[in-house]
Structure formats: structure tokens, C-alpha cells
Amino acid sequence: MKPVNIGLLGLGTVGSATVDLLLANAGDISDRIGRPVRVTHAAVRDPSKPRNCDLTGVEMVSDPSELVSHPDIDIVVELMGGTDLALQLCTQAVNAGKHLVTANKALIAEHGNELFAAAQASGVVVAYEAAVAGGIPIIKAIREGLAGNRINSVAGIINGTGNFILSEMRDKGRPFDDVLREAQELGYAEADPTFDVEGIDAAHKLTILASIAFGIPLNFPAVFTEGIGNLTAEDVSNAEKLGYRIKHLGIAEQTPQGVSLRVHPTLIPQSQLIANVHGVMNAVQVQSDAVGESLYYGAGAGGGPTGSAVVADILDIARALASAADQRMPSLGFLPERLKNLPLLAIEAIESAYYLRMQAADQPGVMAEVTGILGGLGISIEAIEQTEPAQHDTQATIIMLTHRVIEKQMVEALQQIEALETIEGAVTMIRVEHFNTRQSS
Ligand code: NAP
Ligand code: HSE
């Protein structure tokens, strides 16, 4: 049977791993779909760069816009990253009637609505399994496997680089920059690693997860994002002593008041499975009405796991080529005209428990002032600890865990506490999640 011809945009970490995988498992791939898959064309930025894969029979194209409309290509696979040229080329590809596979979460989160509309008009598929959580087939699990459920929340460790950094800092006491450099060398990090560290990459992925879980249009600007760059070794160690672990979580939740979309460092009890996801591994926890809680775990970044998702999408499309366009899976799993514009919850309106750390003058009455402010705003304290000041130091450290409260109340309390003459500098606040107390809407 006629082979499926692939045109690849990009032969970096994911592109070269995809070529390798298509060659290594060519027999099984052909047995699964009844025809071979071959990469016929590829475009890169620097054609003189040596590549980590066998490019025998692959025509290198200097102009990527020539590749995306090449008559011999069935599926364009975009693995170059970025949102400007990538959007232009992907739009050109779908307008030319090419099916599209991409690992580019920034592209889907920021421009997916328009790209999906263009693909629908052209009767082609845009597949993006590789964009979220690397080797975990989480798009398929939510969009297809849980299609009979109403999903209440999705929460996960969805950036491998960030989790690798936090794990190495905690387990080996390694400095942040050193671990980030290693993540870059291992091919985990984004071209601009601030996307990993600041939570932008996780926010892109959360945008996608929320849309397929709740049936809402992609809305990247609605995600509240806080990075891991300001986390201190002291907070990591305090969390451990209190029986918690700090993870960088993406949380999408449907509440009776609206949908909350947020990425931030979070204390999780060490007893939770998700607190024990280390290194580059990702995990996504889904709360849905029929199944209850389910957890999906696997490598979150790197060439092999991501290439695996790219190849799976290629095979899905190869099968879909035989079906009518209106019989195919809608891009977000819901019919585009049935997507709902649900109200969105501002971060001040979420409910959470909190970890607080502050420097206080070592003198009588300070603790009473602080707890008085919290109590006055209806914030109840779950645990409190004051560490003795070091010799010659006049400052003590106060660490607290609170019960759940609306964030607006906590922000108000922090303003009042920071205004106290006995409190030095800013109070550190990190949200705490227990998951079992999560309310279904
Ligand atoms: P990468 O190693 O930097 O590779 C990017 C590739 O795109 C390179 O081959 C580069 O060419 C090519 N490229 C860049 N700009 C180009 C242009 N203007 N014209 C033609 N080719 C161009 O990136 P990557 O890690 O493979 O990531 C690729 C995509 O997958 C990104 O969207 C990323 O977010 C996503 N992703 C990555 C991972 C991961 O673990 N790495 C996981 C999931 C998703 P040169 O080689 O000549 O520079
Ligand atoms: N930079 C991303 C990460 C790649 O570390 O998770 C996988 O999407």
C-alpha cells in the first residue's frame, strides 16, 4: 500500500527522536496501520549541523514554506517550536489540506482556536498529544478514555524541567542554576528555559488540559502563573519537616463560582502519590464523576517520550485518512460549536490552605499580633512553629500552616502582617493542596 509521507519541520531533540522511532519500529508501525510511514522531507534552520538520526532518503528542504505545501506530503509534523513562524507554517499547511501533528504547546495554547478552525474548514486533523506531559497519553485519556465523565478537576506536575530541578535541589542539595543547565543538556528544557522556570510552559499545557476536560475554548491569558525561581532551600526543607513536599502544579478546577486555572508552587502531603513524582517524570490527577480519582504517570520531557506521542498521532491520522472529516475526533473532544464560555475565577477568589514564613522580632506579643490578624479575618491556623533566633540574632522565624480560606482574605492578612513593626520584610506564602478536600461542583 502507498506509504504515509511525512514532512518534518525541525530535527532537534524531538524531531531526531521521531525519525529514530519511525525507523526502529517501522515493522510494528506498518503492522498497526497496514502501510509504512516514511519521512520524505525535513526543514531545519542550519542544514550544516550534524543530526542525531539516520536521514537516508530524507530530502532536506531549505524553505520550510515549500515543505508545508509539497504535493507528496500527507502529514506535516511541526517540531520547531515558537509561535510566529510555526503559526504561519502550520496555518499554511492546514490551508493546503495537510494533516498536522505538533508538539508545540505554546502554539496550541495561544493560537489553537484559530488553527483548529482553519483545519476544520480544510477538513484536516491537528493532533497534539506530544504537547502535554511528554510520554503520557493524557490527551487521549481525557478526550477519549474519560469521555463518559464530567470532569471536575485536573491537577498535575506538567513540566519535567521544573520537577527535575525541584527534585535535585531537595534530594542532593544542588544549586538551581546547575540543575537547570543539566536539564538543558538532556534536551528537557524549552529553547527559552524561563518558560519552564516561570511556569509559562506549564500554563500552556494547563490551558490545553482545561479545554479538553471542561469543553471550553483555549484561554491561555486566563491562567494565573507563578514560577519556582523564588523558592528557597529553607522553604523546601520546612515543607519536608511539616510532612509536605513542594511541587510545581498546574491546577484546573470547575467550582460552582467558575473555572480556576493556575500554575504555582504547592505544598502537597508526602502521603499523596503525586508528591512522590520525581525528576523529569510528570503526573496528572483527574477527578471525574464516574471514575472518581485517576492518576496518569510517565516521563514528561525528552526526545524518546515526546517522539512516542508524535508517532502515535501520526498513526491515528493515518487511520483517519480513510474516514470522512465529520466522523473524526473534534480537536478539543467537544464539537466546536458546543464549547462553553464558562465564567473564570480570579486568583483572589480561589480557596486554598497556605504555608506562611515570616521573620519576626524576638520579643513578647509578636505571635499574638500575627495570630490576632489572622483570626480577625477568619483564618484558622492548623500548625505554627517558631524557630529560635541564632546567637546574636534578634529575629525569629515563624512558620504556619492555615486551613482553607478565600485567597482575598489571605492577601488582606498578609498586608496587615507586613505592616507590623515587628515583622521584617515580606511574608512568604505558598499554597497548600490536600486534594481529598477538593469539592466537586
Ligand atoms: P530543539 O531541539 O531546539 O529543535 C528545534 C528544531 O527546529 C531544530 O532542528 C531547529 O533547526 C528547527 N528550527 C528552529 N527554527 C527553525 C526555522 N526558523 N526554520 C527551520 N527550522 C527551524 O527543540 P525540541 O526540544 O525538539 O522542541 C521542539 C518542539 O517540541 C517545541 O515546540 C517544544 O516545546 C516541543 N516539545 C519539546 C519537548 C522536549 O522534551 N524537548 C517535549 C515536548 C514538546 P536547527 O537544528 O538547524 O537549529
Ligand atoms: N520543557 C518541557 C518540560 C518539555 O520540561 O516539561 C516537555 O513539554
Lookup: cell for 118: 482553519
Q: Do 146 and 254 fall within a single domain?
A: yes
**345 in a domain, yes or no?**
no
Mean pLDDT of 257-286: 97
Q: Do 152 and 294 fall within a single domain?
A: yes
**pLDDT at 323 (0 to 100):** 83
Q: Do 164 and 267 fall within a single domain?
A: yes
Q: Do 205 and 86 fall within a single domain?
A: no
**126 in a domain, yes or no?**
yes
Q: Do 181 and 261 fall within a single domain?
A: yes
Decide: 220 and 112 in contact? Cβ < 8 Å: no
**439 in a domain, yes or no?**
no
Report the chain's mean pLDDT, rounded to a whole number. Answer: 95
Residue 262: name the closest of 379, 194, 340, 349 by CA: 349
Distance from Cα 115 to the centre of ligand 1, integer Å: 19
Q: pTM value?
A: 0.97
Tens digit of pLDDT for each residue in 359-375? 999 888 999 999 999 99
What are the residue numbers of the active site? 205
Chain-centre distance for alpha carbon 420? 38
Distance from Cα 221 to the centre of ligand 2, integer Å: 20
Nearest-atom number in ligand 2 for the CA of 189 is 1
**pLDDT at 372 (0 to 100):** 97
Residue 326 has pLDDT above 50, yes or no: yes
Residue 315: name the closest of 14, 31, 17 by CA: 31
Residue 440 has pLDDT above 60, yes or no: no
Q: Do 162 and 248 fall within a single domain?
A: yes
Residue 191: name the closest of 113, 84, 115 by CA: 84
Nearest-atom number in ligand 1 for the CA of 45 is 47
**pLDDT at 134 (0 to 100):** 87
- The total of structural domains in the chain comes to 3
Pairing of strands 75-78, 4-9: parallel
Ligand minimally distant from the alpha carbon of residue 205? 2
Q: Do 100 and 66 fall within a single domain?
A: yes
- CATH number of the domain encompassing residue 187: 3.30.360.10
Q: Do 289 and 315 fall within a single domain?
A: no
Burial 138-175 (b: 16+ CB within 10 A, else e): bbbbbbeebeebebbbbbbbbbbbbbbbbbbbbeeeee
**pLDDT at 393 (0 to 100):** 76
Distance from Cα 303 to the centre of ligand 1, integer Å: 11
Q: Do 26 and 89 fall within a single domain?
A: yes
Residue 36 has pLDDT above 70, yes or no: yes
pLDDT band at 3 (very low <50, low <70, confident <90, very high): very high
Which one of 132, 159, 263, 284 would you pick to mutate in the ligand 2 pocket, going by the greatest count of ligand atoms within 8 A of its CB? 159
Distance CA(335)–CA(412), nearest Å, equals: 42
Q: Do 291 and 145 fall within a single domain?
A: yes
- CATH number of the domain encompassing residue 89: 3.40.50.720
**346 in a domain, yes or no?**
no
CB atoms near residue 354 (< 10 Å): 23
Decide: 166 and 229 in contact? Cβ < 8 Å: no
Q: Do 213 and 321 fall within a single domain?
A: no
Decide: 19 and 79 in contact? Cβ < 8 Å: no
Tens digit of pLDDT for each residue in 62-106? 899 999 999 999 999 999 999 999 999 999 999 999 999 999 999
160 lines ligand 2 (CB under 6 A): yes
DSSP per position, 367-434? HHHHHHHHHHTTPPEEEEEEEPPPTT--EEEEEEEE--EEHHHHHHHHHHHHTSTTEEEEEEEEEE--
* Ligand 1 pocket list (CB less than 6 A): 10-15, 43-46, 49, 64, 79-81, 85, 103-105, 130, 134, 187-188, 190-191, 301-302, 306
Decide: 139 and 128 in contact? Cβ < 8 Å: yes
Tens digit of pLDDT for each residue in 114-150? 999 999 999 999 999 999 998 999 999 999 999 999 9
**pLDDT at 439 (0 to 100):** 43
DSSP 390: P
Question: Which domain covers residue 392, as residue numbers?
Answer: 351-433
pLDDT band at 441 (very low <50, low <70, confident <90, very high): very low
Tens digit of pLDDT for each residue in 283-297? 999 999 999 999 999
